[in-house]
Structure 1
Amino acid sequence: MNHNNITGILLAGGKSSRMGTDKGMINFNGKTFVQHIIDAMQPLVSDVFIVSDNKEYDKLGYLRVDDSIKNSGPLAGLYAGLKYTKTDYNLVLSCDIPLIDTEILKVLTRSDYTNYDVVQIQSGEKTMPLIALYHKRCANKCLELIQNDERRLRKAVNQLHTKSIVIDFLWKERIKNINTKEDLKDINYAIKH
């Protein structure tokens, strides 16, 4: 596996309506959510950029790419990232998984990802299309669905050549999406106890 063939794409364009503030910029354990996630990605990728219209991310020092299709959800964010990337393979993560670590992501980068359009994490019955490797060619399917008023990322993943890798149950908490203030309290409590 050659890290030069993989770009890290962080999707941070969501409305964060349940949290009430931009999730990626929340400070957790001394760093923003986004920085925690990028730190987990960096050993496995040659480059990282953030897809977001929020200029606040510029102060973190990473390249930021605007959503090219506004208000169309994570499918449009993925499309913007895949359209911009220079590499065939891309590690795509959402900005709301601050507990993610490099060991979990290695499960993806050590897989036979070159035989698939998408390789995603699965925990129990739940697949995680925003902890996944995507081939650049997936941008075409994203655009096609967006043009047909489809915003659901799972719809794209289900129409692409996709492999799901079931991870150890013990890692379940590490891939948890932090969507609400309650979720944030829970992880802060767990770390302190």
Structure 2
Amino acid sequence: MNKEKDITGIILAGGKSSRMGKEKGLLLLNNKPFIQYSIEALQPLVNQIIIVSSNTDYDVFGIKRVEDIIPDSGPVAGLHAGLTHSKTENNLVVSCDAPLLTTTLLEKLLHYKKEDNDIVQFEAEGKTIPLTALYKKRCSHKCLELLLLEERRLRKLVSALQTKTISLLKKEYALVANINTIEDLKAITNAIEH
């Protein structure tokens, strides 16, 4: 194992996609599935990638896929499963529905990996983005604690732990944008084409 990297990439792909109506990670942008963009952004920075999803369609990517240990409990459960299966202290966590994410942007999180934070997350337009963040493996204990209290909100986890927040430049906002609706998808496709 390359000690320099010693980082796991965790792609959360277990969302219900209720607003989109179909599996978001498998939506196409320029004929490439969303999740492929996440994989490519992570690959130069990590030793292993884990996809957290119960959908076997993701197996075509040839990447380790794990399911939530506590099912139907939102992103905290996905994070808990990914961190539990990770073998590294540092974990780059991304969601499968932010296809413009880049390796360069994720590297900004890694600048802080030696600091004593549990989480390093981005902030754009005054909103924090805990679904594109660096998590220490030890966060899995707090995830489990919250899940046992039936707490599913990632923001509760973030506020309970030592968290560093990095503000993004305005031009970087689009890189972390989640695609939740068909309108979002159309907007991003138009932005890329023009």
Matches within 5 A, 1:65-104: 65-104=66-105
Structure 2: tracts of 5 or more residues without a match: none
Contact conserved, 1:89 with 1:136, CA < 8 A, in 2?
A: yes
With over 3 angstroms needed to count, the CA separation of the structure-2 counterparts of 1:112 and 1:9, relative to structure 1, is closer
Equivalent residue, structure 1, for 2:147: 146
Amino acid at match of 1:189: N
| Deviation beyond 6 Å, 4+ runs, structure 1 | none
Deviation at 1:3, TM superposition (A): 4.3
Equivalent residue, structure 2, for 1:125: 126
Per-residue deviation, residues 68-91 of structure 1 (Å, max 9, x unmatched): 111000000000001110001100
| Cα distance in structure 1, aligned partners of 2:114 and 2:98 | 22
1:114 aligns to what SS in structure 2? coil
With over 3 angstroms needed to count, the CA separation of the structure-2 counterparts of 1:158 and 1:27, relative to structure 1, is same
> What is the RMSD computed on CA atoms of the aligned residues?
1.3
| Cα distance in structure 2, aligned partners of 1:142 and 1:3 | 27
Structure 2 residue 11 is the aligned partner of structure 1 residue 22: no
| Cα distance in structure 2, aligned partners of 1:3 and 1:83 | 21
With over 3 angstroms needed to count, the CA separation of the structure-2 counterparts of 1:132 and 1:180, relative to structure 1, is same
Matches within 5 A, 1:41-80: 41-80=42-81
Contact conserved, 1:3 with 1:46, CA < 8 A, in 2?
A: no
| Cα distance in structure 2, aligned partners of 1:112 and 1:13 | 26
Structure 1: tracts of 5 or more residues without a match: none
| Cα distance in structure 2, aligned partners of 1:119 and 1:50 | 20
| Cα distance in structure 2, aligned partners of 1:95 and 1:179 | 11
- Deviates further, 175-184 or 120-129: 120-129
TM-score where L is the length of structure 1? 0.96
Deviation at 1:113, TM superposition (A): 4.5
| Cα distance in structure 1, aligned partners of 2:147 and 2:158 | 13
TM-score where L is the length of structure 2? 0.96
Instruction: Give the total of aligned pairs.
Output: 193
Contact conserved, 1:113 with 1:133, CA < 8 A, in 2?
A: no
The alignment-based identity, stated in percent, is 52
Per-residue deviation, residues 6-41 of structure 1 (Å, max 9, x unmatched): 100000000000000010011111211000011011
| Cα distance in structure 1, aligned partners of 2:47 and 2:186 | 34
Deviation at 1:115, TM superposition (A): 1.3
Contact conserved, 1:90 with 1:133, CA < 8 A, in 2?
A: yes
Contact conserved, 2:90 with 2:113, CA < 8 A, in 1?
A: no
Equivalent residue, structure 2, for 1:11: 12
| Cα distance in structure 2, aligned partners of 1:84 and 1:114 | 23
2:115 aligns to what SS in structure 1? helix
Per-residue deviation, residues 98-117 of structure 1 (Å, max 9, x unmatched): 01111111110122553110
